[in-house]
């Protein structure tokens, strides 16, 4: 995956301008029929600006489509305003066909930074990827994985026997990380969550909260007998021997939310659901 990116648009300036003018919107939708129907409806109401001429992208789908849109459109530097035409929709706003120009112009921006993953497989091939939510390692055979965990070059766990482990950003902390009993992280916190998945040994270890600048290195013990795969936001890499993960502050993703319904509020609300 190439990492050379065009410089992001200064959204603070664009946002100010849009409050006084009608934003130019580019609509994108998942393949789900309900999302495609919404795409047809909105393009019919508001038209479709080409990406190069747009002020913002309106993404129609669920959280998975939001993540794929952020990854795919990163080089354009455009903020993304999502409307839920999927399932969970944690990263999306409610769907309404009316008043979309006004909602986008009034939206509040959240800036999130992804993880950079560098994985080496058992043949020595190197793969790189960016993950907005999390990078996870998962056993891909019948036996539990055995992992060796380093943080900033220091060995912290000589052997973790488990189904896998993941490193999550604050934005992704309510997704797979939360299902694996990891902590919910405030969106503005300078930390990452390192969470085991179905740990067997050590029995009492339930993960760690690490500084955002930490470099996490996980080595697979006996990958031939106990094969492991890695996923970066569901992008799979097989037969993994070593994975290194760290936050990438040089890459920013901009997500737009209706006022009062941003990620900070959603993360707090999730803990009282």
Residues 44 and 131 in one domain: no
pLDDT of residue 20: 46
In a domain, 216, yes or no: yes
The pLDDT of residue 2: 30
Q: Are residues 239 and 119 in the same domain?
A: yes
Q: Which residues contact 24 (CB under 8 A, 6 or more apart)?
A: 49, 53, 54, 55, 56
Residue 264: its pLDDT value, please? 82
CATH number at residue 20: 3.40.50.10330
Please name the residues in contact with 120: beta carbons below 8 A apart, sequence gap of 6 or more. 126, 127, 240, 241, 242, 243
pLDDT of residue 1: 31
Same domain for 166 and 139: yes
**Contact by Cβ (8 Å): 153, 137:** no
Residue 164 burial (C-beta neighbours within 10 Å; 0-12, 13-18, 19+): buried
Provide the token pair at 262.
């941003």
pLDDT of residue 4: 31
**201 in the same domain as 98:** no
User: Do 65 and 86 contact (CB within 8 A), yes or no?
Assistant: yes
Of the candidates 17, 55, 63, 222, the residue annotated as catalytic is 63
pLDDT for the residue 224: 94
Residue 5 included in any domain: no
Answer yes or no: do 131 and 94 share one domain. no
Q: What pLDDT is recorded for position 100?
A: 97
Kindly state whether residues 73 and 190 are assigned to the same domain. no
Same domain, 128 and 58: no
Domain of residue 46: give its range. 11-113+251-270
Instruction: Please tell me whether residues 233 and 149 are part of one structural domain.
Output: yes
Residues of the chain with pLDDT under 70: 1-21
For position 23, what pLDDT does the model report?
Answer: 94
The CATH number assigned to the domain holding 139 equals 2.60.200.30
Residues in the chain: 273
4 lies in some domain: no
In a domain, 3, yes or no: no
CB distance 124 to 176 below 8 Å: no
| Residues paired with residue 177 on neighbouring β-strands, in sequence order | none
pLDDT at residue number 215:
98
Asked whether residue 149 is assigned to any structural domain, the reply reads yes
pLDDT at 68: 92
pLDDT in tens, 28-67: 999 999 999 999 999 999 999 999 999 999 999 999 999 9
148 shares its domain with 241: yes
CA distances from residue 11 to 8, 27, 58, 105 in whole angstroms, order as listed: 8, 18, 15, 12
- Nearest Cα to Cα of residue 134 among 194, 79, 63, 71: 194
pLDDT reported for residue 84: 96
Q: Which residues line the annotated binding site?
A: 63-64, 133-134, 163, 171, 174-179, 198, 235
pTM: 0.84
pLDDT for residue 265:
84
Residue 27 placed within a domain: yes
219 with 192, same domain?
A: yes
In a domain, 229, yes or no: yes
Q: What is the pLDDT of residue 114?
A: 95
Handedness of CA 166, 167, 172, 173 (dihedral sign): positive
Question: Are the C-beta atoms of 160 and 208 separated by less than 8 Å?
Answer: no
63 is known as an active-site residue = yes
Q: What's the confidence (pLDDT) of residue 25?
A: 97
Report yes or no on 28 lying in a domain.
Answer: yes
Q: Which residues are annotated binding-site positions for NAD(+)?
A: 63-64, 133-134, 163, 171, 174-179, 198, 235
Number of domains making up the chain? 2
143 and 104 both lie in a single domain? no
Residues 121, 89, single domain; the answer is: no
């Amino acid at each position: 995956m190439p990492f050379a990116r065009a410089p992001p648009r200064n959204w603070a300036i664009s946002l100010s301008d849009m409050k006084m003018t009608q934003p130019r919107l580019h609509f994108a939708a998942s393949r789900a029929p309900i999302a495609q129907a919404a795409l047809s409806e909105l393009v019919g109401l508001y038209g479709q600006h080409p990406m190069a001429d747009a002020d913002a992208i309106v993404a129609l789908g669920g959280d998975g489509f939001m993540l794929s849109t952020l990854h795919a459109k990163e080089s354009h530097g455009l903020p993304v305003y999502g409307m839920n035409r999927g399932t969970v929709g944690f990263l999306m706003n409610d769907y309404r066909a009316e008043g979309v120009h006004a909602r986008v112009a009034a939206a509040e921006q959240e800036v999130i930074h992804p993880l950079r993953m560098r994985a080496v497989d058992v043949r020595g091939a190197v793969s790189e990827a960016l993950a907005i939510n999390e990078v996870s390692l998962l056993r891909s055979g019948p036996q539990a994985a055995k992992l060796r965990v380093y943080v900033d070059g220091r060995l912290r766990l000589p052997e973790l026997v488990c189904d896998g482990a993941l490193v999550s950003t604050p934005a992704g902390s309510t997704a797979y990380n939360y299902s694996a009993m990891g902590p919910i992280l405030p969106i503005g916190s300078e930390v990452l969550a390192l969470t085991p998945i179905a740990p067997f040994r050590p029995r009492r270890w339930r993960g760690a909260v690490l500084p955002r600048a930490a470099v996490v290195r996980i080595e697979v013990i006996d990958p031939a007998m106990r094969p492991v795969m890695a996923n970066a936001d569901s992008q799979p890499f097989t037969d993994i021997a070593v994975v290194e993960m760290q936050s990438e502050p040089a890459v920013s993703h901009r997500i737009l939310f209706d006022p009062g319904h941003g990620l900070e509020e959603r993360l707090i609300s999730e803990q009282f659901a």
